[in-house]
Structures are given as C-alpha cells and as structure tokens.
Amino acid sequence: MSGGSGTKTDGRVERGNQTRRLILGRTMDIASVEGLEGLSLGRIATELKLSKSGVFALFGSKEELQLATIRAAVAVFADRVVAPLDGLPPGPGRVWALCRNWLAYSSERVFEGGCFFYAVSAEFDARSGPVHDAIARTRQDWVTYVEKELTEARMAGGLVEDVDVPQLAFEIIALMEAANAQSVLHGDTAAYGRASRGIARRLRAEATDEARGEIDDAA
C-alpha cells in the first residue's frame, strides 16, 4: 500500500511547525520591546499575512500565545547563553564565560528589546496568573543555575570555601541586568564594559589563588 496519506500528514505537520516558528520569532521580538500584552492573534495574523483562524488553531488564545512565546525565548536563551559552556570544566572560568555569554546575548540584541526576560518580568512582576507564574519560574531557574555553577566552582577548588553563593549570584545578575537596562534605555553600550569589569572583580575576589587566572583581563 502507498504511504501517501502519512506523507500528506507529515507535510501538514511540518508546515504547521514552520508557521509556529515564524510566529514565535516575531512574538519574541514584539514582547521584548512592547511586552507580552502587545501580542494578539489578530495582530500576528495581519503582520505575517496569515489567516487569523490558522493562528488561532495553533495557539487557541492570547494567553497560550504568551506562554508559548516565553517557552520559545527560554530555548533561544539556552542556546545562546548556556549551550556554549559545554565542555568547559567547573570553575571561575566557566562562570566568567557564562557571564560574557549573557552580556553578548543582551548587547548583540538577540531579542530586539534587549534581554527578553528582563522586559517581561518588569511587565508582570506585580500581577498574578499563569503568565506571571511562567515568568517567575523561568527567572528562578536562571538564579538557581547561576548558583549551581558557582557552587560547582567552589567544590572544584576554584572559589574560596566560605563564598556566599546566593549573594555572589545576586550581585552578578544585578550587574548584568543593570547593563541591559542602561543600554536599552539610553543606548549606552559602555554599560556592558562596566558590568563586565564589575563581575570580573567580584569573581576574582572570591577565587582561590590558583584559579584567579581563569578570569582573563579582557574585562
């Protein structure tokens, strides 16, 4: 028997996946500039010249479009910031590489409005509901990841034994986000250099003598 029916089904699925990727590529940029409330099924259909019924069939509601946009942004963030660390051993050098990846992700405008998660967090931080909860979980996952990297650096002998991991993670993230905010609001690209130097100093201050050289002087 012919496999024509299955081939047709596979073709429809792939076209649907392509359309979904096209839509989410646009919604991520819109949300990074205007916020998640700037999204609507009708707007996306009009901008991308798609049928509104087709967009609705893929997402079903504005809220699902917002949640799908957050999930898509997580995947992009992981690809640009976290994935390049593969193969690097635990230590201050790996943490430093993570921070540089983050600063590049923001400064190179992977998302049109700078850091996607900084933008949507400010929009939804005082609200409640599924979108707020998804953003909050994503932000907490990031903090937890930075703390894990610092803890593993300490366990590998790269950071001093009494380092306050949550405090150091808080300061590092604060410096990165301050650079993002300054750059987006004022067009001040020098903020990334200031953040880079500040992070390097904090890591060097907590690094062991043997590992301090892992944090290069490019900062």
DSSP 181-206: HHHHHH--THHHHHHHHHHHHHHHHH
Give pLDDT tens digits for 37-49: 999 999 999 999 9
Residue 217 has pLDDT above 80, yes or no: no
Instruction: State how far Cα 69 lies from the chain centre.
Output: 12
Task: Name the average pLDDT for the chain.
Answer: 93
Q: CB neighbours (10 Å) of residue 199?
A: 27
Backbone φ and ψ for 133, nearest 5 degrees, come out as -65, -40
Give pLDDT tens digits for 89-103: 999 999 999 999 999
Tell me the one-letter amino acid at 44. I
Residues in the chain: 219
Q: What are the beta bridge partners of residue 159?
A: 207
For 168, residues 6+ apart whose C-beta sits below 8 A from its C-beta are 150, 202, 206
- Tell me which residue has tokens 């942004």: 73
Compute the distance between CA of residue 158 and CA of residue 94 in angstroms, rounded to an integer. 10
Q: What is the pTM of this model?
A: 0.90
Q: How far apart are the first and last CA of the chain?
A: 65
Q: CB neighbours (10 Å) of residue 219?
A: 17
> Domain map of the chain by residue range?
4-211
Confidence band, pLDDT 50/70/90 cuts, at residue 17: confident
Among the listed residues 126, 130, 9, 17, the one whose alpha carbon sits nearest the alpha carbon of residue 72 = 17
Compute the distance between CA of residue 57 and CA of residue 49 in angstroms, rounded to an integer. 15
Say what the pLDDT of residue 15 is: 80
Q: CB neighbours (10 Å) of residue 167?
A: 12
Torsion sign (Cα): 49, 54, 57, 61: positive
Give pLDDT tens digits for 152-210: 999 999 999 999 999 999 999 999 999 999 999 999 999 999 999 999 999 999 999 99
Confidence band, pLDDT 50/70/90 cuts, at residue 16: confident
Compute the distance between CA of residue 52 and CA of residue 79 in angstroms, rounded to an integer. 30
At the fourth CATH level, which superfamily is domain 4-211? Tetracycline Repressor, domain 2 (1.10.357.10)
Compute the distance between CA of residue 75 and CA of residue 116 in angstroms, rounded to an integer. 12
With a pLDDT cut of 90, the percent of the chain lying above it is 90
Say what the pLDDT of residue 219 is: 45
Say what the pLDDT of residue 1 is: 47
Give pLDDT tens digits for 49-69: 999 999 999 999 999 999 999
